[in-house]
Copies of this chain bind each other. A is one copy, B any other.
Amino acid sequence: MSESTVELESAASILKLLGDKTRLTMIKMLDTHDACVCEFVAIFKTSQPAISQHIRKLKDAGLVRETRRGQWIIYSLNKESLFYPLVQDVLHHLPNQDFRLKELEEQGLRISCE
C-alpha cells in the first residue's frame, strides 16, 4: 500500500477526470511545463470554451492551480493535492507530450503567452 492512501470514492472521481484524452494530455503536459489556455487551444482541435471547461473540472478537483500573469492565466499542477501522488503514478505510465509544445514553438505559436 502507498504511504498516501486516498478514499476509494474520491479516487474514482479523480480517475474519471483523468479518463478523458484531452484532460489526461493536459495533465501530462503540465507535469513538465506550466501552460496557458491559449496553448491548449492551439494544441487540441477544440474550442476555447471546451478547454476552459476541462480546466475548470481539474481546478475544481484541486489538481491544477492558476496564476494570473497579465492577461494570461498560467496553469500548473498542484503538487500539494492529496491526489498528486496518485496522479504522478499514473503519469509515469504515459509517453512524454513535450513534442506538442515543441510543435507550437516551431510554428511560432507559443510566443504569445510569454
Q: Please tell me if the beta carbons of A94 and B6 are within 8 angstroms of each other in the complex.
A: yes
Given contacts A5-B93, A6-B94, contact A15 B11 (CB under 8 A): no
The distance from the CB of A85 to the nearest CB of chain B, in whole angstroms, is 7
A12 within 8 A of B: yes
Q: Please tell me if the beta carbons of A11 and B89 are within 8 angstroms of each other in the complex.
A: no
Q: CA separation between A93 and B81, bound complex, in Å?
A: 14
Q: CA separation between A49 and B5, bound complex, in Å?
A: 31
**Cross-chain contact of A16 among B19, B28, B90 (Cβ < 8 A):** B19
A18 within 8 A of B: yes
| A-B CB proximity, top 3 nearest | A16-B19, A15-B19, A89-B89
